[in-house]
Amino acid sequence: MPVKALYPGTFDPPTNGHVDIIQRGARLFDHLIVAILVNPVKNPLFSVEERMEMLREATSSIPNVSFARFDGLMVEFAREQGVAAVVRGIRAISDYEYEFQMALMNRRLAPEIETVFLQPAGRYSFVSSRMLKEVFSLGGDVTGLLPPNVLKRLRARINNGH
């Protein structure tokens, strides 16, 4: 029986850190579902469909990855998908504290689903979508921190006055 995992997130926009976690998660599991959270409260720069398309383009060489959208409780979606594990990326101690609490709550809600923490490659350990959007909007260079297709869309979106 193939072992499936879920990598949930907002991915607004997808970063090279996200792609790194997807690549490594896809090596660990038979199938990795990248699940994009529908959360209009966060006022996303890109629509769910745009984020999904950017991620598909950036990970097109990884055959055992699929994409989905979800809202509501992540563990309920994970259960519906029949996954054995949830993959979470951790960049710093502050991420760990939040993610550890979330993992414990998820374990209480769905004890059959494990949480697996992965750290991105060191060169991406400081990168967050929010930080990249801010730096870029203020004229900073984010080359090498985003997949080229994402950087192209970010330039178009920010330069067109989002």
Burial (CB < 10 A; 0-12, 13-18, 19+), residue 107, is middle
Check residue 148 and give its pLDDT.
96
CATH number, position 149: 3.40.50.620
Please answer whether residues 45 and 13 qualify as being in contact, where contact means their C-beta atoms are separated by less than 8 angstroms.
yes
Q: Can you give the residue range of the structural domain that contains 74?
A: 4-159
| pLDDT value, residue 161 | 60
Amino acid at 65: V
Structure tokens at 128: 């967050």
Q: Catalytic amino acids?
A: 18, 42, 91, 129
pLDDT of residue 162: 54
- Give pLDDT tens digits for 115-128: 999 999 989 988 99
Residues 6+ apart with CB under 8 A from 59: 19, 22, 23, 34, 65
| Number of domains composing the chain | 1
Single out the residue of 82, 139, 141, 158 nearest to residue 113, CA to CA.
Answer: 82
Helical axes 148-159 vs 48-58, angle rounded to 10°:
150
Per-residue model confidence (pLDDT) at position 82: 97
Backbone angles phi, psi at 89, to 5 degrees: -90, 140
Task: Report residues of the chain scoring pLDDT below 50.
Answer: none
DSSP state of 122: G
pLDDT in tens, 44-58: 999 999 999 999 999
What pLDDT does 66 receive? Answer: 98
